[in-house]
Structure 1
C-alpha cells in the first residue's frame, strides 16, 4: 500500500484588515496546509511592526523559509506597511496581480495587492481588500453584467461586466446604523434589544418601504422613536425597523445604478449574509451567494498563480 506524499508548500496568502489578520499556508496543489487568525490588524501592526507580526505567524506554522507571500487588504493602505496604491476603474480584475507592490528591504518576496479607485469628481470611491474577493468570485459569476453586493460596515456594490469592474459605490450603512443607534434619541428605543434576524416582520416591512420610497428615509428613521413611545414597538422590533430602513435605503440606492433585472450576487460570510438575503427577498429580489472567506482565498490564489506561475 502506498501513501501520497505530503503536499509541498508553495506560498503564503494573507488577508490583512484594519482589525483582523488571516493567513493561509498554501500547497502547490492549492490545498490549505495551515491557517492562522488573530486581531493583529493594520492598527495593531502599525505599532508592533508588520514584519514582526507576519514572522510570528509564519514561525507558528513552521512555514519554510523563503516562501513568497501575497497580501491583500489594509496592509497596503497609506497608513499600512507599504502603500500599494489603486488601479483606476474601469479595471479588469485580471490586471490586479501585476500591480502588486513588493516590500523593500526584506529577503523574502512579499507583495501587497492594490485597491481600486473610482476617480469621478461627483462619485469618488475607493476599496481595498474587496477587489481580491471579486477576483476570487469572478470564476463563479461568469461573463455578463452583475451587481455584486459586499456587505459590511461600509458596504460595496460593484458593477461588474465580463471580468471588469465598471464602477462601484460604497454605502456607510453599518457605520451610520451604529451612530444612530448609540448617539441619537433612538438609543432609548433600542437600548435593550438583542440580535435581530432577517425574518423579523418589522425588518422586512422597513426594507420594503425604503425600496419603494427612499425619499422618506429620515422620516422612517424617526418612526423608530415614535413607535416605541406611542405604538408599542418593542426594543427588538425598533432595532429591526432601523436596520431594515438603513439596509433598504442602501438597496434602493444600489438598484438605481444598474439596469432593471441585472443579476445580483452577495459576497459575504456569517450572519450578515442571512440579513442581506432576507432584505433582498423583502425587496422582491434574489441573489446568488458566494462565501467571502473562500472568495478572498481564491483571489489570493489567482494572484499567486499570475505572479509566480504556480
Structure 2
C-alpha cells in the first residue's frame, strides 16, 4: 500500500459488515466484508472484530474509524441516539458516540427518527447514504432504498424532512411462504422473468379504488382456473405489492418528477420499472459508493472538530 490511509469507513448492518480503508480523497485502498452483522453478535464482540479486520488490512493502531448502521442501535455496540427530523445530513457527525473497549479513535454515527403522530419511524445506515448523495449535490430530492423494509425519504435543503418505511419485501416473503398463496408461488420463482405480468399488476395497483387485500386472493384463484396455462404468480404478487407502495407515494413522485434509487440487483430494477409505470423517472445510485461518501464527509468533520478542540 503506497498511499497512507486517512480513515477506516465501516458500514455495520444487521447481517453484514463492510469496511474500507480510504485515502483523503475517498479512494479505496483496501476493503473487507463479512457476515458479522449486529444480529449475530454480543456487545462484547465488537472491539475484537473491528481490530481483527483492521489488522488483516495492515492498518496502523491509531487509524481512526467511523461507523454507520446497526452498531449504533440499542442492541448494538453502543447506542447512538436518533436525530429527529428535520435532520441535517451535514451535521450528523455532531451526534456521534465513542464506544467502550477501543484504543484507537472510533466514532459511531447516529440514526434518524420521525416522531409525527401516526407516522413514527426510524432509520440507521440509510441516513449516511443520503449524506453521501448530498455530497453529490442532491440536496432536494426524493429517494427510495429498496429492501426487505424499503425506505422513502424526502430531502429538502440538505435535511431529511420526512421518511417512511414500507414492509413490502417482508410482506412478499410472508405471503408467498406462509399464506395460502404459497401454493401458487414457487420458492424459486423469478418476479423479473415476466415483465408484462409484473407491469399489469403494477398498473392495477396504481388504478383508482384499488384494494390490495381484496385482490391478493385472485392470484390463487387464477392458478386454480388457468387450466394448465403457465402463470407467474410471483411477478403478479410482486407487482401488486410494489405497485401499492408506489401508489402511496405518488403525490411526492409527481412533485419531484423523479426518484433516486439507492441499491442494485433485481429488486431495484423492479422498483425502477414500477416508478416508470407511475409516470416518474428512476435514477439509479450506487449505495456502496454513497455510504463511503457519507462516512468520509463525517470523518472530515469529526477530525477537524477534534483538532480544533
TM-score range, shorter chain: over 0.9
Aligned residue for 1:142, secondary structure, equals coil
1:263-290 deviation digits (Å, cap 9, x = unpaired): 3211112222212111212222212111
CA contact (8 A) 1:169 1:254 kept: no
Query: How far off its partner does 1:199 sit?
Result: 5.7
Query: How far off its partner does 1:73 sit?
Result: 0.4
The equivalent position to 1:112 in structure 2, one of 108, 114, 119, is 108
Q: Residue 218 in 1 paired to residue 213 in 2?
A: yes
The equivalent position to 1:308 in structure 2, one of 297, 303, 309, is 303
Q: Which residue of the partner structure matches residue 287 of structure 2? A: 292
CA contact (8 A) 1:194 1:236 kept: no
Root-mean-square deviation (CA), in Å?
2.0
Query: How far off its partner does 1:255 sit?
Result: 2.1
CA distance in 1, matches of 2:193, 2:137: 25
CA contact (8 A) 2:26 2:293 kept: no
Q: Residue 37 in 1 paired to residue 65 in 2?
A: no
CA distance in 1, matches of 2:273, 2:9: 32
Q: Which residue of the partner structure matches residue 194 of structure 1? A: 189
Aligned residue for 1:78, secondary structure, equals coil
Query: How far off its partner does 1:237 sit?
Result: 1.2
Aligned residue for 2:103, secondary structure, equals coil
Q: Residue 282 in 1 paired to residue 282 in 2?
A: no
- CA distance 1:13–1:236, change in 2 (3 Å): farther
Aligned residue for 1:96, secondary structure, equals helix
- CA distance 1:191–1:259, change in 2 (3 Å): closer
Q: Which residue of the partner structure matches residue 267 of structure 1? A: 262
Query: How far off its partner does 1:243 sit?
Result: 0.5
CA contact (8 A) 2:19 2:33 kept: yes
Query: How far off its partner does 1:302 sit?
Result: 0.9
Matches within 5 A, 1:176-187: 176-187=171-182
- CA distance 1:61–1:273, change in 2 (3 Å): same
Query: How far off its partner does 1:29 sit?
Result: 3.2
Aligned residue for 1:52, secondary structure, equals helix
Give the number of equivalent residue pairs: 305
Aligned residue for 1:9, secondary structure, equals coil
- CA distance 1:69–1:236, change in 2 (3 Å): farther
1:113-163 deviation digits (Å, cap 9, x = unpaired): 00000011211000000000000012335343x211111110010011121
Matches within 5 A, 1:1-310: 6-46=2-42, 49-144=45-140, 146-191=141-186, 193-197=188-192, 200-213=195-208, 215-231=210-226, 237-256=232-251, 260-309=255-304
- CA distance 1:233–1:206, change in 2 (3 Å): farther
Which consecutive unaligned segments of at least 5 residues does structure 2 have?
none
Query: How far off its partner does 1:215 sit?
Result: 3.6
Query: How far off its partner does 1:34 sit?
Result: 0.5
